[in-house]
Amino acid sequence: MVIALLLLCVLLATPLPRKIYRKVVQMAGSAGEPKIVREVEVKEVIREVKVREPLPERFVNYKSVDTAKLWSGIEVNSAMEVSEGRSASVERVNSQGYTFDFKINLTVPTPASSLDALTGNNPHLPGTLPAIAGLLGSGKVSGFYHKLYEIKAKRVQQFITRLNAVPDRHNFYDCESIMELQSSETGQRVFFLQGDMDVVSDGSDGDRMPEYDEYISKSTNYQPFTSYGWKKKTSQPNPLLATWEKKLAVAQEELAGGKVRASRVSSHKQQISTLKREITDMKARSFLIAREDPFIVIPSWMRSYGNQNPFAPNIGDYAAVIFEDRVFPAIVGDSGPTWKVGEASLRLAREINPKATPYSRPVSKLHVSYLVFPGSRDPADAPDFKRWHDRVSALLDRIGGLGKDVKLHQWSNNLVNKGGVD
């Protein structure tokens, strides 16, 4: 008993009794306060479990037909059939196990050959060329038309596995007609083509234009040459000569330094040979300038028929280009892709449509008439726009002339007094 009292006294002397007392008081006080209960909305969560179709227990013979459109707007229908073969290690080396079969459905257009058909594209044509009805009546659809579409069709098949290289709908259907016309009175022949108009920006001439617009020279597929060219008249170098010499130096350095892959050595040597030949040509000759000279382009293969067909157009032949009721003198100044027609120089294109650029065609519809006078070319020389005007005017007179109040456009020489040769 005495020991218990002594322990109690010691315990009361420590801080513990006071802590117990405060805790009891705090609990007693809070017991009388109201308790706040927060309402919580409990949402029912329903998880959707997707039940997939059962896994196949054997090979599935899959067949499918899919339809889509290429970037060019051409519709593509693909059919796929899947069959079961041998093991993957065997089929991996089987060249026939994974193949594509292409069937091309291509509609070739019928050539327009009547006055009604052609005036659907240009209602001004009878008034611009009053004799056109008679010329068409005695004329015929040219074999050049059928050859052109044969080449177009072959190109589609050739490039079908490179879909980005297949001609789009616009470029495939760019020719409405090619006809061989001849005046019964004078015997004057006309190679007549109805089509659209794209833009070419090629050509350069140090004699007439020592400096060149980089915007033009750096455009897609630009070349400083045209098929029509003549002997240089001054010592002023071609404005693109330094650029071509730099290309040659880089190509030679790459080859000499072993920087060319073995698989490309042959093509690299061919590139060097081509650059050397072009540099020699640029030092010796001058060429038409697309931004300054009015000319048109024909497919390169047409020139090769000169000995077989008297209507075949050739480089340097004079031409008249008709758009609506306007007539422009020009020459055949260049040859281009085998599968397209209707290209004209930037100068001619901008006269028809000021918004034309190397990347924007002046006329998208088949509304342009090209009249080439085969065999009319003169010896190649620097452009003389007055002579071009007079020659085309005389040739038009030989097929009946222009209509009342229709004037043949007179080109101005923009390079006079600008350092060029007049």
> Could you read off the pLDDT of 319-371 as tens digits, one per residue?
999 999 999 999 999 998 889 999 999 999 999 999 999 889 999 999 999 99
Averaged pLDDT for residues 87-93? 79
Q: Worst-scoring range by mean pLDDT, 186-200, 323-337, 408-422?
A: 408-422
Q: How confident is residue 8, by pLDDT bands cut at 50, 70 and 90?
A: low
Token pair, residue 83, equals: 């069959």
Q: Would you kindly state where each structural domain of the chain is located, as residue ranges?
A: 115-202+291-397, 229-285
Say if residue 30's pLDDT is above 60: no
Question: Which pair of structure tokens corresponds to residue 68?
Answer: 């889509």
What is the pLDDT at residue 6? 52
Lowest mean pLDDT among 23-32, 90-99, 113-122, 250-259: 23-32
Give the pLDDT of residue 58.
79
Give the range with max mean pLDDT: 11-25, 72-86, 309-323: 309-323
Residues 367, 358: Cα–Cα separation, whole Å: 19
C-alpha span between 80 and 66 (Å, rounded): 8
**pLDDT band, residue 2 (cuts 50/70/90):** low
What helix, strand, coil percent values describe the chain, rounded to 5? 35, 20, 50
| Banded pLDDT at 41 (limits 50, 70, 90) | low
Whether the predicted pLDDT of 17 surpasses 80? no
pLDDT tens string 291-328: 999 999 999 999 999 999 999 999 999 999 999 999 99
Q: Where are the alpha helices (DSSP H) in 76-184?
A: 88-91, 115-119, 125-128, 132-138, 143-158, 169-172
Q: What is the pLDDT of residue 53?
A: 76
Q: In terms of residues, how long is the chain?
A: 422
Kindly tell me if the per-residue pLDDT of 139 is higher than 90. yes
The pLDDT value given to residue 49? 67
Predicted pLDDT of residue 210: 87
Least confident stretch, 21-25, 77-81, 268-272, 337-341: 21-25
Residue 162 banded pLDDT, cuts 50, 70, 90: confident
Q: What is the mean pLDDT of the chain?
A: 85
Among 53-67, 290-304, 389-403, which is the least confidently predicted range?
A: 53-67
pLDDT at 71 over 90: no
User: What pLDDT score was predicted for residue 163?
Assistant: 67
**Percent above pLDDT 70 for the chain:** 82
Instruction: Residue 406: name the closest of 336, 343, 323, 337 by CA.
Output: 323
pLDDT at residue number 32: 52
Share of the chain above pLDDT 90, in %: 55
pLDDT for 313 equals 97
Using pLDDT thresholds of 50, 70 and 90, give the confidence band for residue 37.
low
As a whole number of angstroms, the distance between CA 71 and CA 74 comes to 7
The model's confidence at residue 76, banded by pLDDT at 50, 70 and 90, is confident
- Across 176-215, b (16+ Cβ under 10 Å) vs e yields bbbbbbbbeeeebbbbbbbbbbbbbbbbbbbbbbeebeee
> CA nearest 198: which of 125, 121, 328, 297?
297
Class of domain 115-202+291-397: mainly beta
Whether the per-residue pLDDT at 220 is higher than 90: the answer is no
